[in-house]
Amino acid sequence: MTDPVLSIDVSKENSTAALFLSQGNLKDKTFTFKHTHKELSEVLEILKSTEIETGSKAKVVLEATGNYSTPIVSFFETNGFKVISLNPIETHLQKNKAVRKVKTDAIDVVRIANVYYLKGDQLQFRMDDQARNLRTMCRQYDGICEVFSETQLKFRDFVEMVFPMYNGIFSDFCSKTSLNVLYHFPSPNAVLEASREEIIKALKLANMPKKWYQDKVDMLYNAARESLSVNLSQGPFEEAIKDYISILNNLRDNLTRMRDRMVKLARLSPQFELLLSIPGVGEVTAATILSEIGDVLNFPTVKQLVAFSGLDPSVFQSGRFKATKNKISKRGSNHLRKALYQATVAGIRKRKGKPVNPVIFEFYSKKLSEGKAPNVAIIAASNKLLRIIYGMLKSRTIFSTS
C-alpha cells in the first residue's frame, strides 16, 4: 500500500502526528498540534500541499479513542478527507510485538501507521453518528452519576454532624422522602418543635400505610432527643443542609432527563432490545454496552472484544507484577467493563429465592466452587456474559437459558 497517510496519536489537548508518503517513508519529522481551528488548519495545508506533490489524497489514520478523537474526526471529514479510526486492540497488539516496551507519542504514530499499512481499511472501527452520540450521552450520564454519588456521601457526613441519630431512619438516606423531611426539619430542634401532623405531611411523598407514618414520626422524635447538637448556632448548618438537598434534587432531575434521552436514542437500534432480553441488564446498562461496542463487526473474534473490554488476563511485563495475582488487563473501555460488572452483579442476585440470570449464576457458582474469591468469580462471569452478548449480536438472537 503506497497511499500517503497522516498518522495521529490523539491526546486530550494536543496530538502528535506524522505524515507518511508510503509505508516506512516518513516525510519530515513528527509534529504536535493543539486542538484549535488555527493549528488544525495548518495541518490541513500540509495535507493539501502533499496532495499536489504526490497526486494522491492522504488518509487520516488514528485510534478510536472516543471523546478526544471525535472533534478531530469531524474536522477532517468535513474538509473532505477520509478518516480511518483503528480498533485500539490492533495497535495494542503491535505494541506487544515490540522487543522493548517503549511508550512515546512519536513511536505511537509510527505504530498506528504501520497497523494501517499492514491491514488497511479492514481494521476500521465502525461507529455511525447515532452510535457516537449515544456513547457521548452514556459517558456523560455516568459522569453525572459519579458526581451524584460523591455529593450524597458528603451530604451524609454533614448531616451526621448536625443530626447524628438521623442515620438509619430511612433505608435510603437520600430518598426523595428522606430529603423532604430533612429540608423541612434540618436539625433535632426543628423536629422537636414540629407537630406530628407537620412531620407526617413531609412524609407523605412515600405513599405508605398510616402506621408507617406514625412509626417514622416516633423514630424522628427519638432521634432528635438522643442527638448531640453542635455547640454553634443551628442556622448556618440548617441552611447548608437545604443547599445540599437542592443540589441533590437538581442532579436527580438532570439524571432522569438524561436517562430518558439516552434510552430514546438507544431504542433506535434493534440491538438494544436484544440486550434487554438478558436478565439483569437494564436500559442504562444496555445503552452503555451498545454505545461502547458500536458495530459488532469491529471485532472479528470474541477474543478481540474481550480484550477491548479489558477483561482478558494481563500480559506479565512488569518485574513488580506478581503472576499469582492473575489480574485482568483493564485496558480498552472501562465503561464497557463497568457495565458488564454491574449486569453480572444484578444477574447473580436472587429474587424470590431464584437467581435473576440462572446462566450467569451457574457459571459464577462454579468459579466459587473452584476456590475463586467472590470478586474474581464475578469478573470471570462478566467475561462469560460478554461472550454471550457477542454471540447474540452476531446472530441477532435474544438471550437463551439453553
Q: What is the CB neighbour count within 10 angstroms for residue 112? A: 27
Q: Give exposure, 259-296, as e/b (b: 16+ Cβ within 10 Å).
A: beebbebbeebebbebbbebbbbebbbbbbbbbbbbeb
For the stretch 186-242, pLDDT in tens is: 989 999 999 999 999 999 988 899 999 999 999 999 999 998 765 555 678 889 999
What local confidence, expressed as pLDDT, does residue 118 receive? Answer: 80
Tens-place pLDDT, residues 72-82: 888 998 999 98
Last residue of a domain, one of 235, 264, 293: 264
Domain carrying residue 77 = 5-125
Clarify whether residues 139 and 259 are in a common domain. yes
Domain count, the chain: 3
Q: What is the dihedral of CA 338, 340, 345, 347, to 10 degrees?
A: 160
Check whether 66 has a pLDDT greater than 80: no
Domain assignment present for 243: yes
- Domain's final residue, options 93, 125, 157: 125
Residue 401, domain member (yes or no): no
250/274 same-domain check: no
For residues 222 and 189, give the distance between their C-alpha atoms in angstroms, rounded to a whole number. 12
Which of 106-120, 289-303, 364-378 is predicted with the least confidence, judged by mean pLDDT?
A: 106-120
Highest mean predicted confidence (pLDDT) among 78-82, 253-257, 304-308: 253-257
* 279 & 242 share domain: no
Q: Is residue 22 part of a domain?
A: yes
CATH at residue 259: 1.10.287.4070
Calculate ∠ Cα 363-364-366, nearest 5°: 65
Looking at the structure, tell me whether residues 213 and 283 fall in a common domain: no
Whether residue 108 is contained in a domain is answered as yes
8 A C-beta contact, residue 328 and residue 264:
no
Same domain, 253 and 163: yes
Q: Quick one: what percent of the chain has pLDDT higher than 90?
A: 60
- The residue among 264, 285, 304 that closes a domain is 264
Dihedral sign, CA of 33, 35, 36, 42?
positive
CATH number of the domain at 101, please. Answer: 3.30.420.40
Spatial separation of the C-alpha atoms in residues 329 and 213, rounded to whole Å: 51
More confident residue, 68 or 215: 215
137/85 same-domain check: no
Kindly give the pairing relationship between strand 83-86 and strand 59-63. parallel
- Within a domain: 402: no
Verify that 211 and 277 share a domain, yes or no: no
CA atoms within a 13 Å half-sphere pointing along the CA-CB vector of 155:
26
- Calculate the alpha carbon distances from 311 to 185, 231, 292 in Å: 48, 52, 14
172 plus 98 within the same structural domain: no
In this structure, the answer to whether residues 233 and 152 fall within a common structural domain is yes
Does residue 400 belong to any structural domain of this protein? Answer: no
pLDDT at 326 over 70: no
Same domain assignment for residues 58 and 38: yes
Co-location of 92 and 22 in the same domain = yes
Residue 321 has pLDDT above 70, yes or no: no
Same domain, 40 and 144: no
Residue 329: what pLDDT?
58
Report field, pTM of the whole predicted structure over 0.85: no
For residues 302-308, give the mean pLDDT.
Answer: 88
Give bridge partners of residue 16 from the DSSP assignment. Answer: 9, 32
Q: Are 357 and 348 in contact (CB under 8 A)?
A: yes
Backbone φ and ψ for 262, nearest 5 degrees, come out as -65, -45
Ranges of beta strands (E only) in 25-75 are 25-34, 59-63
Identify the DSSP state of 99. S
Task: Decide if 203 is inside a domain.
Answer: yes
Q: Is 249 part of any domain?
A: yes
Average pLDDT, whole number, for the chain?
86
